[in-house]
Structure 1
Amino acid sequence: MELNVRIRSVRFTYGLLAALYVLCVILQVYFAGLGVFVDSADLELHRVFANYFEFGAIIMFLLSFFGSIRGGLRWLTLGLFALTSLQHMTIQTFTGVLPALHTVDALLLFWISGYLLRKSWSWLLLRRNGEVQG
C-alpha cells in the first residue's frame, strides 16, 4: 500500500529529527568531555547547546500524529523530552549524589534516540511504502 505524499514527508521529517537528535546527544557528550578534559570554560558550550535541541522531541511527538506514527515511535519521543528535562533537573535542582544521574540519563537519551533513528531509517531512504520494519 502506497502512503500519500503528506505522510511520507512527515515521516521523512521525523526520521531527520531523530538523526539530528542522536547527533546532538553525541555532540553534548563531546562538549562535556571538552569541559572535563580540556578547559572547564567549555562546559558553558555543553550547557547552552542543550537549549537548541531539547524541543526536537516534542516536535517529533507532534509529527507522529500527522504521519500516522504510532506505538513506541510516538510515545518514546515524550520519554526523550522527559529525560531531557531531567538533565536540567539533575544539575539545577538535585543535591548529594543525585546529580550523577546526569551521566546515566545521557546514556538513556542516546539509546532511545538511536532506537528511534533505527526504526525510522527507512523513511529517510524515501522508500515508496514508508513502512517501518519490526
Structure 2
Amino acid sequence: MLQPTLAKGPAKPSTPVGSAPIDKAWERDLRSGRISIDMTIDLHGHYLAGAHTALSRALDRATAMGARVVLVIAGKVRGPDEAPRGAIRRELATWLAHSHHASRILAVRNAHPRHGGAGALYVVLRKAERS
C-alpha cells in the first residue's frame, strides 16, 4: 500500500548571516580578543528604531572606509526574571541579516570580555572588491 506524501514545509532558512566558518586564524584572534577593531558603534541609550538606523549608518561608513572589524556594543540580553532590557541585542542578528549589508558580512561573533563580552559583537566584513 502506498503511503501518502506529505507536503514539505517551508524551506529551511539559509545559513544565518555571519555564522559561516571563517579562517582558523581569524577565529583564534576573535576568541582571544587579539583583533584589530577598525570601528566601534555604541548603541546604548538608543530606542530600537534609532539603534537600527545608527547601526546601518555605521556599517555604511565602515564599508566606505574599507573596515574589516566593527565592534557593536549593544548591552546584554537579560533573563526573563530581570528587567525588560536587552531588546537591541536581541534584534541585532535580524537587523544584520535583513540589511543591505548582509552580503558584505563575513562573520558575526560574540566579543571577547575585554571588548564588552556578551554585551557586544564583532561584525567582520568581507574585503572590499577591487575595481
Question: Shorter-chain TM-score: which interval?
Answer: under 0.3
Give TM-score scaled by structure 1 length.
Answer: 0.27
Whichever of the two has the greater Rg, that structure is: 2
Relative contact order: is structure 1 or structure 2 higher (C-alpha 8 Å, sep ≥ 6)? 1
| Between structures 1 and 2, the one with greater helix share | 1
